[in-house]
Chains A and B, each alone.
Chain A
Amino acid sequence: MQKSFVMRNPSTLVFLAALAMFTILVTVLAEGSGAGVISTSFVKTLGKTLCLALAAVAMDLVWGYAGILSLGHFAFFGLGGYMIGMWLMYERTRGIVEASLAEAQIPPTAQEVVDAIGNQIFGVVGSSEFPIVWSFSDSLAIQLALVVLVPGALAAVFGWLAFRSRVTGVYLSILTQAMTLALALHLFQNDSGLRGNNGLSGLQNLPGMTHVPQATISIWFFWGSALALGLGYLFASWIVFGKFGSVIRGIRDDEARVRFLGYPVETYKLFLFTVTAMIAGIAGALYYPQAGIVNPAEVAPIASIYLAVWVAIGGRGRLYGAVIGAIFVSLVSSWFTGGQVPDVNLGFYTIKWVDWWLIVLGLSFVAVTLFAPKGIGGLVDLWADRKSPDRHGADLGPSEGSLQEKEAVE
């Protein structure tokens, strides 16, 4: 008799319970709704961290389970941010423009309002025309749909080209890296229509919500991020749990064998690549309103590499590992780079952690890869005493008592 999905996935249940407890705890302690122990800016940091964890779950699906080392998933994350950012910026500017034009003696025409908004938004890049990509920026519904559709479409086109040509391994990683770089370079241009290196800013202000203090808005976004992470985690564990999970893990371990079983390997990869790009897009759309600004530097190749580092340190091939890695590394990272760690004075040299943090991160990445390939999540195995056979990549030769080669030749 089959047990229910949740019963056979105790780790999912534990994770969701922990996430719910964490959300309640932060809400109670937060400035906006409770005791005021946690400052608004730290609530935002925690909310952003949950979004990063969701992106890491997507990365783990595509890398840890299917073995596709994508170094481009942060591009999808950034695109999600841009899509929601366009609406936020448009609507907020409209509010300001309408307020200022309302004082004029002749009521402005609709066209005048739009022109004024364009002038406000694109003044920094020496333009006032709305580029074509902003066509739907006045519609929240459409921009929300674009949060998943644009990253999904980019991933689908890119994936279709790459997987169809059977590009795998390191070559695929380099291609994804090139895609991210190309996107970042495009966005850096002033005439890309997305305000060049200025990016989209002021995203923390929700249009029509000017009376609500940031302390409250930060809690809303924190809840939203927690909900998205919870649902994303549930969805991901459903994906990897059944036969689909079997097939993608098979693709990771021996692609040719899966093909000879009759599975269209390329279709599976494309499906997973696209779906995870969409998840990353959603995560980005929740992240950037909390960060307040999205600019092309966010999409730079290094960001996607960070994503891989988080998953590796947390433990790939297990979803909670990705979450642990993202939360742990990004929080420790903001602690170190925030200048809160005291400098170490060695007499002849002072170690400033702001400068040295990247070295520490790099070394720990190398150390995890070499000495603890299961990452932090591997500690759970120690506790659960779960063992896996250590035969991977080893000689598959005859076991004890089986026919030896020299007997076979006779």
Chain B
Amino acid sequence: MSALLEVSGVSVSFDGFKAINNLSFSIGSAELRAIIGPNGAGKTTFMDIITGKTRPDEGRVVWGDLSRSLLDMSEAKIAQAGIGRKFQKPTVFEDQTVEENLVMALKNKRGPFSALFYKRSADDMTRVGELAEEINLSDRLRFKAGELSHGQKQWLEIGMLLAQDPQLLLVDEPAAGMTPSEREHTTALLVEAAKTCAVVVVEHDMEFVRRLNCRVTVLHEGAVLTEGSLDHVTSNQEVIDVYLGR
């Protein structure tokens, strides 16, 4: 199986500090992957590199069937190519309704003129309805996003990612600050999403990772420490030393 995203030999340093050190990583389409690691292991920087926010000093990031390099594309172009990203802090547009948030995220042409002359088609609104159903917000469509609870905002953001119809989802700590029942729903959402696209979840919470039941990559000091099933990595002595043992 060819890889959807292939990161090889990437390094980046900030003021002499090597945040990412010769990191290689690859993921196939429709795969669910969890990334764990101690603070400062480079998890967020790793996502920044893929989404174009940070340019690496060296290395290659290759994307899709056409093996395009992501390194010379803008953030917006990368997002249009099918990579969606969810931030650690839920960032939805609080001043706008849930519906407006979702419509904005729907996969449509992104230029200013397309947005000016955009008309909400029946197809689009059906899709918004489906998404709202999926993220448990059907009865909240007319509410402003700012009125939602923390967990609901997280879901809305996941919903906005799904609306983009991405091929790869990068999700940063989706379960932070959620009630146990909310987390279960989030797990289900991510597992469901991973049936159609690749999903990378960065998470601290081992219990959550266990429930995802997927391959795990452990990052440490900007490089991959080990990779495998959760049981495999948790029994690894190095992992215990740098991460679990603390």
Does A pair with B? yes
Q: Which of A383-410 contact B (CB under 8 A)?
A: 388-389, 391-392, 396-399, 401-403, 405, 408
B233 contacts chain A at the CB level, 8 A cutoff: no
Of A249, A262, A267, which is in contact with the most chain B CB atoms at under 10 Å from its CB? A262
Surface stretch bound by A, among B63-71, B92-100, B129-137, B221-229: B92-100
A253 touches B93 (CB 8 A): yes
Interchain nearest-CB distance for A13 vs B (Å):
21
Option from B95, B115, B149, B180 in Cβ contact (under 8 Å) with A243: B115
Cα–Cα, bound, A268→B111 (Å) = 8
Residues of A within 8 A of B76 (CB): 259, 262-265
Cα–Cα, bound, A392→B147 (Å) = 11
Closest to B179 in A: A402
B79 touches A246 (CB 8 A): no
A347 contacts chain B at the CB level, 8 A cutoff: no
B40 contacts chain A at the CB level, 8 A cutoff: no
Cα–Cα, bound, A94→B72 (Å) = 58
B146 touches A402 (CB 8 A): no
B150 touches A397 (CB 8 A): yes
A2 contacts chain B at the CB level, 8 A cutoff: yes
Closest to A262 in B: B79
Interchain nearest-CB distance for A227 vs B (Å):
23
B180 touches A392 (CB 8 A): no
Cα–Cα, bound, A267→B177 (Å) = 36
Closest to B149 in A: A399
Option from A247, A254, A263, A268 in Cβ contact (under 8 Å) with B91: A254
A244 touches B118 (CB 8 A): yes
B85 touches A244 (CB 8 A): no
A399 touches B104 (CB 8 A): no
Q: Which of A221-276 contact B (CB under 8 A)?
A: 239, 242-244, 246-247, 249-250, 253-254, 256-257, 259-265, 267-268, 271
B31 contacts chain A at the CB level, 8 A cutoff: no
Residues of A within 8 A of B110 (CB): 262-264
B183 touches A261 (CB 8 A): no
Option from B90, B96, B182 in Cβ contact (under 8 Å) with A402: B182
Option from A260, A399, A408 in Cβ contact (under 8 Å) with B75: A260
Q: How large is the interface on A (under 10, 10 to 19, 20 to 34, 35 or more residues)?
A: 35 or more
B3 contacts chain A at the CB level, 8 A cutoff: no
Option from A244, A271, A396 in Cβ contact (under 8 Å) with B150: A396
Interchain nearest-CB distance for B156 vs A (Å):
12
Given A388-B95, A402-B149, A403-B180; A408-B79 close (CB under 8 Å): no
B147 touches A389 (CB 8 A): yes
B112 touches A389 (CB 8 A): no
Closest to B87 in A: A257
B51 contacts chain A at the CB level, 8 A cutoff: yes
B74 contacts chain A at the CB level, 8 A cutoff: yes
B104 touches A247 (CB 8 A): yes
Residues of B within 8 A of A260 (CB): 51, 75, 79, 84-85
B90 touches A396 (CB 8 A): yes
Interchain nearest-CB distance for B13 vs A (Å):
22
Cα–Cα, bound, A243→B101 (Å) = 10
Interchain nearest-CB distance for A63 vs B (Å):
15
Cα–Cα, bound, A399→B153 (Å) = 11
B115 touches A244 (CB 8 A): yes
Residues of B within 8 A of A391 (CB): 94, 146
A246 touches B103 (CB 8 A): yes
Give me 11 A-to-B residue pairs in the complex whose CB atoms sit less than 8 angstroms apart, sorted by A's number: A244-B116, A244-B118, A246-B104, A246-B115, A249-B96, A254-B93, A262-B164, A391-B146, A398-B178, A399-B150, A403-B180
| B interface residues with partner A (beta carbon < 8 Å) | 51, 53, 74-77, 79-80, 84-85, 87, 89-91, 93-96, 100, 103-105, 110-112, 115-116, 118, 120, 144, 146-147, 149-151, 153, 160, 164, 175-180, 182-183, 204-205
Closest 9 CB pairs of A and B: A262-B79, A389-B146, A398-B177, A399-B149, A244-B115, A243-B118, A262-B80, A271-B112, A259-B75
